[in-house]
Structure 1
Amino acid sequence: MSRKNKRSLKEKFSLKNSLVKEALSEFLGTFILIALGCGCVGQAVLSRGAHGGPMTVSVGFAMAVTIAVYVSGGVSDAFMEYSDGKLEVTGPNATAQIFATYPAPYLSLVNGFADQVMSTAFLLLAIFAIFDTKNNSVPKGLEPIAVGLLIIVLTCSLGMNSGCAMNPARDLGPRLFTAIAGWGMEVFTAGNNWWWVPIVAPLLGGVLGAMIYVIFIEIHHSDPQSGEENDVHAKYELTNMA
């Protein structure tokens, strides 16, 4: 009787609509990505480098992506101590960059846009390779680890200019949070109105990277044998890539 009740409870609460299930999975995965990834940045910034730095941010954010992929397949008093009670977007005590990306002082909008397009293109090109069963694909189940290592490479080589957002979800949501949590509308005007670049550029870069891989690699694969057609679409079922 108890087993029947347990099955009934599961059937009562389990979602049947695939779109709703995917949306819930994306929500949880993105939450984990932002919470753990921005936590790494926050620890490095608020401790003034005593408990983290560029390498821990790179590795930490990459592992946040890895965990988020596996799962989906708060503001503390430290802010006040760090910035003397002020939530600043720019300057030596700025804390807004914990949540969203901002350009380095020397970076122009044009160069920053190109930077984001290029980094996201590399990201998608490599992800297509990782999940390409016709190429030297990663063993099943280890794909998130490979993606995490990919994020480390990208942030170590291309992260200095603006932090390698490479995903609108990684930047826009946290930026909106800072706007309403005390930092104000300066989060949208800082960096010569930088806010739109991490949204638009990754979209273009993702398409560019995918096209490059398809044109240079994928279309040249031999035709799949009988029974292999179902594997072709597996690499497109990706969630919560940063």
Structure 2
Amino acid sequence: MSDIESHPERPAPTLRYKSGSTVRTIETVAPQSTVSRIRRAAPLNHIHAAPKLTANHNRKHLREPCAEFLGTLILVFFGTAANCQTVLLSNGTQAKGGWLSGAIGWGVGIALGVFVSAAVSGGHINPAVTLTQAIFRRFPWKKVPFYWGAQLLGAFFGSLVTYGIYRNAIDQFEGKGVRTVPGTAGLFGTFPLDYVPADQLYDILLIILTTVVAFFNEVGGIGCSDPLLGLQFLATIFLVLSIFAATDRNNGPSSPALVAVAVFFAMTGITAAMGAQTSFAMNPARDLGPRMMSAMFYGRKVFTFRHNYWIWGPIIADFSGALAAATLYDLLIYVGSDSPIAYR
């Protein structure tokens, strides 16, 4: 016999009293036994659900970084795979793609990455976007490091998958075991074209600390007029402006699907118009993750090439461009109360 069966509830006693000529009967509530109170308050089957609730709680906190990881992986895989197919599988008589196919590959990658992650994490898939959301849209700062880490890992593994698929094609293209920088390393990371003199690149930090005009007109050093790194800055402005406009609720209802379509056209257009000279990073994770991956096979030269170009172009120029874009949008267009510089 169970404990519950051995503790039956007592029937409720009745009280009778006389009020004038009327006899009234009142039923009182019997005190419940300890066992019955436990049974009613917390059924036994709920006790076994506690581990499941804990697992769901932990999973809830991981969903956003996981969405950023997966979205960035999709972006980088589609983009770098399009690069590899266009370059490695072409020959003198038949091309397997052109600049447009690469632009579409990156456009599809960012659209699918945003579509997969937008409803869960906001679909940043770009550290520069995460930073602008924290500064201009009250995105929680405590989440920023986790988003950045997830985005970097996603970019790393996305490019690693591409390298695994096209490793034999790289061997055939360059020679078995031969890996050159920029060469085929440029299929994964971003590198400027060869006609940019090396001494134009290392002083960009000085230019950023002066004025935006100097950044465009004298990128790389005082007196230099080649604006290749400024293209990274300008391309990121166009991309982030498109993202801010697509997610601005004052422009109309937005959904992950509509945002994905908007960034597809933005990415494809930017790549087709300005991508050739600097490989259109516009995303610090998109460059740093694949660069870290390629360092395992190409060596440290992927970081030291052209006076550490990867710092000045894909990192500093991209973050600067994103901040400039957010500032411009909020000053000229945005009317929401969550921006530190926009007013209703």
Same fold, TM exceeding 0.5? Answer: yes
Q: How much does 1:65 deviate? A: 0.6
Residues 138 and 146 in structure 1, CA contact (< 8 A), matched pair in contact too: no
1:199, 1:84 → 2: CA distance? 32
Give the partner amino acid of 1:98.
L
Letter in 1 for 2:271: T
Counterpart among 158, 166, 170 of residue 79 in structure 1: 170
Offset, 1:162: 0.4
Of 242, 256, 263, the residue aligned with 1:126 is 242
Output the CA distance in 2 between the equivalents of 1:10 and 1:114. Answer: 52
Aligned to 1:102: 191
| 1:129, distance to aligned residue in structure 2 (A) | 1.1
Count of matched residue positions in the alignment of Structure 1 and Structure 2: 214
Of structures 1 and 2, the one scoring higher in RCO (CA 8 A, sep 6+) is 1
Q: 1:47 aligns with which of 62, 81, 89?
A: 89
> How far does residue 29 in structure 1 lie from its aligned partner after superposition?
1.1
Whether the aligned pair in 1 keeps the contact of 2:229 and 2:278 (CA below 8 Å) is no
Could you state the TM-score of these two structures normalised by the residue count of structure 1?
Answer: 0.79
**1-structure distance, mates of 2:255, 2:67:** 23
**1:227 maps to what in 2?**
none
**C-alpha distance in structure 1 between counterparts of 2:56 and 2:78, whole Å:** 27
The one-letter code of the counterpart of 2:68 is E
Inter-CA distance 176–139: structure 2 relative to 1 (3 Å threshold): closer
Identity %: 33
1:37 aligns with 2:79: yes
Choose the corresponding residue for 2:114, options 69, 73, 91: 69
8 Å CA contact retained: 2:193, 2:277: yes
Pairwise mapping of residues 1-242 of structure 1 onto structure 2 (< 5 A)?
11=53, 13-16=55-58, 19-48=61-90, 50-73=95-118, 74=161, 75=164, 76-85=167-176, 86-90=178-182, 94-107=183-196, 108-109=200-201, 110=219, 111-135=227-251, 141-180=257-296, 182-196=297-311, 197-219=313-335
Contact residue 232 and residue 281 of structure 2 kept, 8 A: yes
- CA deviation map 1:16-54 (0-9, x unaligned): 465532111111111111112111111111113621221
Q: Distance in 1 between matches of 2:188 and 2:284?
A: 13
Q: Return structure 1 stretches of 4+ with deviation > 6 angstroms.
A: 7-10
Secondary structure, aligned partner of 1:35: helix
Q: In the TM superposition, what is the alpha-carbon distance from 1:138 to its structure 2 partner?
A: 5.2
Aligned to 1:229: none
In structure 2, distance between residues paired with 1:10 and 1:40: 42
Q: Give the deviation of 1:128 after TM superposition.
A: 1.0
2:115–2:256: 8 Å Cα contact kept in structure 1? no
Moved more, 207-216 or 110-119: 110-119
Partner of 1:239: none
Which has the higher mean CA deviation after the structures are superposed, 78-87 or 16-25? Answer: 16-25
Letter aligned with residue 187 of structure 1: V
For residue 87 of structure 1, report the CA deviation from its aligned partner.
0.8
Tell which structure's C-alpha radius of gyration is larger.
Answer: 2
Q: Is the 8 A contact 1:70 1:144 kept in 2?
A: yes
Shift in Å, 1:194 = 1.2
Q: For structure 1, which segment, 30-39 or 135-144, has the greater mean C-alpha deviation from structure 2 after superposition?
A: 135-144
* Distance in 2 of aligned mates of 1:144 and 1:15: 29
Q: Closer, same or farther in 2 for the Cα pair 1:140/1:80, shift >3 Å? A: closer
Q: 1:167 to 1:140 in 2, by over 3 A?
A: closer
Tell me by how many angstroms 1:80 deviates: 0.7
TM-score normalised by the chain length of structure 2: 0.57
Structure 1: any 5+ residue segments left out of the alignment?
A: 224-231, 234-242
